């Protein structure tokens, strides 16, 4: 990872020499926010169905608070490679980013959950083996290199401020996975912060610190997605990180 980050810094230094939803109007807003990512900005399981982004998802809450037009491009189930592919090759997607005044990115949770599931299956219930396998899978994962490419691709398309949400613990306190994730999250989110620091104009929204151990309030029971209260916290985080307050 250190080699990756050094290479990325060199690349950045040298480099310095189809959409699922429409813009939602908010009064007479003149500026716009585009939300990129997975089911978290989409607001999964908050609406009557999941055919459209939920209006109680944090991108729309930010839009209401800061009087911005909102384009929510969150896609349930997306991993980092899918978002990166859209930014690299989907012209409609790229044009939407180019027109944004603010960008919110929340991606990587599905990559990490996949690594968690695979480690759990392969460890057969052995906690020490689980921890070892999880660290190995994270070390060999493309999630961090993809995330860096996502940030650099987004920056290449727009000079708008970018907020990157880090990863919260999605498991309730009565779930053993909560305690398996807890020691790993600081390492993961430390990598998120390092990657953000390599790209100009990117700030971190600390979802992990904001949620803390209050999953009973902020995460839907039996689910991993934010409640309406959790989405409000994410909105507050984004507003602070983008300097919209």
Nearest to 78 by CA among 40, 48, 115: 40
Provide the strand spans (E) within the chain.
32-37, 69-74, 102-106, 162-165, 202-205
Return the residue matching tokens 């189809």.
18
Structure pTM?
A: 0.86
User: What's the token pair of residue 131?
Assistant: 């921890």
Res 229: pLDDT: 98
Maximum Cα–Cα distance for the chain, whole Å?
57
Q: Which positions of the chain have pLDDT values less than 50? A: 1-27, 29
Res 77: pLDDT: 96
- HSE, side-chain direction, 13 A CA sphere, residue 150: 31
Res 231: pLDDT: 98
Res 118: pLDDT: 86
List pLDDT tens digits, range 126-142.
Answer: 888 887 888 888 887 89
User: What's the token pair of residue 27?
Assistant: 């009064």
Res 12: pLDDT: 37
Please state, as a whole number, how many other Cβ atoms lie within 10 Å of the Cβ of residue 55.
Answer: 16
């Amino acid at each position: 990872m250190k080699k990756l980050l050094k290479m990325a810094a060199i690349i950045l230094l040298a480099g310095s020499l189809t959409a699922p939803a429409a813009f939602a109007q908010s009064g007479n807003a003149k500026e716009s926010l585009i939300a990129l990512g997975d089911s978290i900005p989409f607001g999964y399981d908050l609406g009557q169905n999941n055919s459209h982004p939920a209006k109680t998802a944090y991108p729309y809450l930010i839009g209401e608070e800061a009087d911005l037009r909102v384009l929510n491009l969150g896609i349930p189930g997306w991993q980092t490679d899918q978002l990166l592919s859209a930014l690299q090759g989907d012209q409609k997607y790229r044009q939407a980013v180019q027109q944004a005044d603010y960008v919110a990115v929340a991606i990587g949770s599905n990559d990490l959950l996949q690594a968690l599931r695979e480690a759990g299956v392969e460890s057969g219930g052995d906690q020490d083996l689980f921890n070892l396998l999880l660290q190995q899978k994270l070390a060999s994962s493309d999630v961090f290199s993809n995330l860096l490419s996502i940030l650099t691709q987004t920056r290449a398309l727009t000079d708008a401020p970018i907020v990157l949400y880090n990863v919260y613990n999605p498991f309730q306190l009565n779930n053993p996975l909560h305690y398996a994730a807890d020691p790993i999250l600081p390492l993961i989110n430390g990598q998120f912060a390092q990657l953000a620091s390599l790209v100009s104009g990117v700030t971190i929204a600390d979802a992990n610190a904001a949620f803390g151990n209050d999953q009973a309030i902020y995460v839907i029971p039996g689910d991993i997605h934010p409640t309406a209260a959790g989405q409000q916290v994410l909105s507050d985080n984004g507003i602070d990180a983008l300097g919209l307050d």
